Amino acid sequence: MAPFLLLLFLLSKAASDNTDVTVHPGDDVTLKCQAAGPSITVLKWIKPDLEPEYVLFYRSNTMQTDYQNKDFKGRVELVDRDLKDGDVSLILKNVSSIHAGTYECRVKDGVSRRKKRAADLSILRTIRTIRLQVTEPDSEDGNSSPVGRYRGLAAGVLILVAAAVVGVLMYKRHKNKRSGPSADDDDADEASAIQVI
């Protein structure tokens, strides 16, 4: 039982570090990320499916735009440029469909005072993964909610199940009619014929 509870705890912890965010084209969105402390020396927001993968690269208290993917130049900024209280949240402006996908927030804190080298960047910890969905608004009410899509899917499944039940019942009824009348039915027919005479 204890291993099961441990596994359940670890899975719930992993799920809490992953977030789904849905926005519409043209919206601004804040991808929230909170580091453990305020002593952040390196911050990377990446989109692993890009080349280069950098959405935002922050080191030595400055943005490093030379490494940034062209699709994000001029579109991103930090909620707090000073990274006070470990807030490393990212604002993505004027979102379009090309921005949909998975984002990772990675940090390195300033516990170590030694010189930072390029090899040290591999020590960054991923502290948040966000899946960004960019959807067109529904024409009826102006919003495209995942809940609404799931309701539609559930209604479709319910209709299919009801159709299957009706089909099975009709098949059984038809099968019973084809097998012919039973002996009890013959006796009932004979009794009704005698009453008519």
pLDDT in tens, 88-100: 999 999 999 999 9
Q: Which of 132, 131, 90 has the alpha carbon at shortest distance from 107? A: 90
Residue with the larger pLDDT of the pair 46 and 4: 46
Q: Which CATH number fits domain 16-134: 1.10.290.10, 3.10.310.10, 2.60.40.10, 3.30.1600.10?
A: 2.60.40.10
Residue with the larger pLDDT of the pair 17 and 73: 73
Residue with the larger pLDDT of the pair 28 and 144: 28
Burial class (CB in 10 A: 0-12, 13-18, 19+), 194: exposed
Confidence bin at 151 (pLDDT 50/70/90): low
Report domain extents, the chain: 16-134, 146-196
Query: Does the pLDDT at position 114 exceed 80?
Result: no
Average per-residue pLDDT for the chain: 77
Count, residues in the chain: 197
| pLDDT on residue 124 | 83
Query: Does the pLDDT at position 154 exceed 80?
Result: no
Confidence bin at 146 (pLDDT 50/70/90): low
Query: Does the pLDDT at position 142 exceed 80?
Result: no
Three-class SS state of 100: coil
Q: Which residues contact 107 (CB under 8 A, 6 or more apart)?
A: 35, 40, 42, 43, 44, 88, 124, 125, 127
Identify the sign of the CA torsion 102, 108, 109, 110. negative
